[in-house]
Every structure is written in C-alpha cells, then in structure tokens.
Amino acid sequence: MKKKLYLSILFAIIVWMCTACASTAQTQATLSPIVENPVIPDTPTPAFSCSAFSAEPTSVPETSALFPPVTSADISIGPADAAVTIVSYCDYQTEGCKEMASVLSRLVAEQNDLRYVFRPLPLIGVTDKAERSVLAALAADEQGKFWEMHTLLYTRHAEWINLPPADFDDWVKREAFNAGMDADQLQAAMNSEETANRLRSMYEAARQLVIPAVP
C-alpha cells in the first residue's frame, strides 16, 4: 500500500513539474514581442587599410641544402644568378611529371629571375620508355636542343606514352626531324655508350638521395 502511495505521489510531482515548465515556456513565449520592422543601429564599419610591398628572397648560406648544388654539368634554363632556383627530379613518362613540367614552363616564361634545373630520374623498371625518353633528351642536348626535346616529350605526351619502345624510337626520330634536329645524329646519340654513361651517372646521383616519388 505504501509503495502504491509513493508511486502516486511521485507521478503527481512529475505531472506538476511538466505542467509548470510548459506554463513557464508559454508565458515566456507570450511575453516576447514580435517586431515587424526592427530598427538596426547604424554602427559604422571599421575602416581597414592595406599596403603593398616588394619582398626579395634572402639567401641563407649556412643552411644545408637537401640536394647537391647546381653545377655547370646540370641542364638548366634561366639566369645563373637568379634569386630563385627550382631543381626538379623527374621522369618523362609519368603524368605527374608532365603536369609539373607544364607549371614550371609557365613560371619560367613569366618570371625573369627564376632558374629551372632539370635532373632526369627515369623510373627504370616501372615505365617501359623511361630510359629511352631520357636518352632522347640527352641526345638532343648534343645538338643544343635539349629544351626543345624536353618540351616535345611533355606536350606530345599522349602520342607516345602507349607506344611500344621500338615504335617510340621511330616517333622521336620523326618528330626531331620536324623540329629541326638532325634525326640520324639523334638516333646515333641515343644508342651511343657516351649518352648511356651520362644517363647512368645522373640516375645514380639521383638514387643516392632516396627520393621516394616523382615529381
């Protein structure tokens, strides 16, 4: 009997509390006036000012470089005393390197104080024409046409990326001729031991840096 009485009292208290809360909420809602056309104070917006300034990069000689310094043996474009030097380790066959080359080409064209250094890092054993494409660029370099071949390989990427290696040689020889190069000299240089040794030296130097990916 006592238990039933206790539960009845507890139930009555809960009902009363809910009713009181609802009444309070209704009262508060009723007391809140609805303003049809509120007046917003005209608070002045604080004035901001800005100024432009030219910032020149400051070299820090004591900072240790992550990569070997640029030398006369490197393939580069832009002034040797440029304020900014970008060193790119890349392969010719990968899409990422192609996109990176496009960005860097625009930067070189737009910035007079930028030097771009290209260090070949062919993904030998990963892409089937990694080695042959770099050999084509190095062979063109013997005719003073490295950047022409560099640009050709990237801008015409879709034309040769899926070709068998033997067909790639025919393609690059034909396009080199169309670009004003000596196609026979280019082919001979691509197959020469001297060009192969140059590629091997560049490749081993890049591998020692343990670069995880390109670009």
- Over residues 43-87, the pLDDT tens digits come to 565 666 666 656 665 666 556 677 899 999 999 999 999 999 999
Of residues 52 and 98, more confidence is placed in 98
d(C-alpha 94, C-alpha 82), whole Å: 28
Task: Please give the pLDDT value at position 15.
Answer: 46
pLDDT (tens digit, 9 = 90+) per residue, 110-122?
A: 999 999 999 999 9
> Residue 171: which H helix or E strand, with range?
helix 165-178
Residue 4: beta bridge partners? none
d(C-alpha 176, C-alpha 105), whole Å: 20
Task: Please give the pLDDT value at position 47.
Answer: 62
Q: Region of 2 please: left (phi>0), alpha (psi -120 to 50) or beta.
A: alpha
Q: Does pLDDT of 23 surpass 50?
A: no
Q: Does domain 75-207 have CATH number 3.40.50.720?
A: no
The structural domains of the chain, with segments of one domain joined by +, span: 75-207
CA 134 centroid distance within chain: 22
pTM: 0.70
